[in-house]
Amino acid sequence: MSKKAILSKILDMTRLKLIFVFFLLSAVPLYPFETEIYPEKPKAGTGFLLLIRGSNLFSYEITCGRKKYAPYRRDRILEIFLPIPIGAQDTLSILVKKQLAGITLSRKLIDLPVEKREIKTVYLRQKDEAMRQKEPAVEEQQSLFLSAVATQTLERRWEAPFIQPLDSPVTTPFALYRKGKLYSYYHKGIDIAAPRGTPVKSANSGSVVLSETGFNIYGSLIVIDHGQGILSSYLHLEKIFKKNGDTVEKGEIIGEVGSSGWATGPHLHMGLHIQGTSVDPIAWTEFTETLPASKSPEKSEPAH
């Protein structure tokens, strides 16, 4: 047999193998995978944990609320914390695709039951609305803030549970709807009233991705990246003790309560952000209290 003939035979074999592999890959039911969701019925405006058990060979793509996400690998498990929009009703559809080299091997559609959130409405006074008029500077500051809270860091820097930055009571809850004539918005965090100068603790370990002063609305602020798309923000501070790039420990004092920016009195506005979406910081703290320290809930019941 000539060299050419041998070569073409090898090529034929390769082609056959490829066809065989493709056939295997397209046989969808051959590649099932396990998922777990915790808690089983999360509330709108909170976060939940999705676990996928799978080998290192495969990648997974998650579609939830028209956004695509990739889970984070930790040991032999894939995990991602995802947000539920404030206004979510009854169920949230989650599509998980198992892929190899961009080819979808199998897919799983999960209809996650969601507990609706009661939303209170307050009406903005005209004076307050005028204060919040969108100026070019405000737009710029808000886009800086929004891109900071959407930071994606693969490494998990936090340990369960998250803690409260202040020991004072919440004065304005999460998701209060402020309705105005010109515009309306949800209160995407919690307000905690405390005397000026009260030390503010970091809710968990991480690194500072935004430390600024003089924002028209937010005043002096700090945003901390805890890894895996989870961030916390602290607004209206009197003093800030951390700068961009600094690492912080859980419970470390990062600043002092103030009334900088758009604030009627000294208070801390704290935000908790999951994959760029704001969730209820109190509910998030309570949720992480149910997670074993630095470990995923291996023993939680499979949701489906």
Contact positions vs Zn ion (CB under 5 A): 191, 269
Q: Residue 89 Cβ, how far from Zn ion at the closest point, in Å?
A: 25
Q: Are 53 and 23 in contact (CB under 8 A)?
A: no
Q: Which CB atom, from 78 or from 194, has the smaller least distance to Zn ion?
A: 194
- Which residue, 190 or 274, has its beta carbon nearer to Zn ion? 190
- How many whole angstroms from its chain centre is CA 44? 14
- Please give the DSSP secondary-structure letter assigned to residue 182: S
Complex with Zn ion: residue 94 or 192, whichever CB lies closer: 192
- Minimal distance, residue 57 CB to Zn ion, in Å: 46
The least CB distance from residue 286 to Zn ion, in Å, is: 20
Closest to Zn ion by CB, 60 vs 218, is: 218
Cα separation of 75 and 51, whole Å?
12
CB of 197 to Zn ion, least distance (A): 19
Give the angle 254-252-243 at the CA atoms, nearest 5°.
35
- Burial of 153 per CB tally in 10 Å (0-12, 13-18, 19+): middle
In whole angstroms, the minimum distance from the beta carbon of 282 to Zn ion comes to: 13
Report the chain's terminal Cα–Cα distance, integer Å.
58
290 vs 160, 162, 224, CA distance in Å?
8, 11, 22
Residue with the CB atom nearest Zn ion in the bound state? 269
Give CA–CA dist 94/108, Å, rounded.
Answer: 8
Q: Buried b / exposed e across 266-285, counting CB within 10 Å, b at 16+? A: bbbbbbbbbbbbbbbbbbbb
> Shortest approach of Zn ion to residue 276 CB, angstroms?
19
CA dist list (Å): 242 to 43, 201, 209, 213, 216: 33, 12, 10, 12, 20
Min separation Cβ 196 and Zn ion, Å: 16
Q: How many CB atoms lie within 10 A of CB 169?
A: 8
Between 191 and 212, whose beta carbon lies closer to Zn ion?
Answer: 191
Nearer residue to Zn ion within complex by CB, 47 or 281? 281
Nearer to Zn ion, 98 or 269 (CB): 269
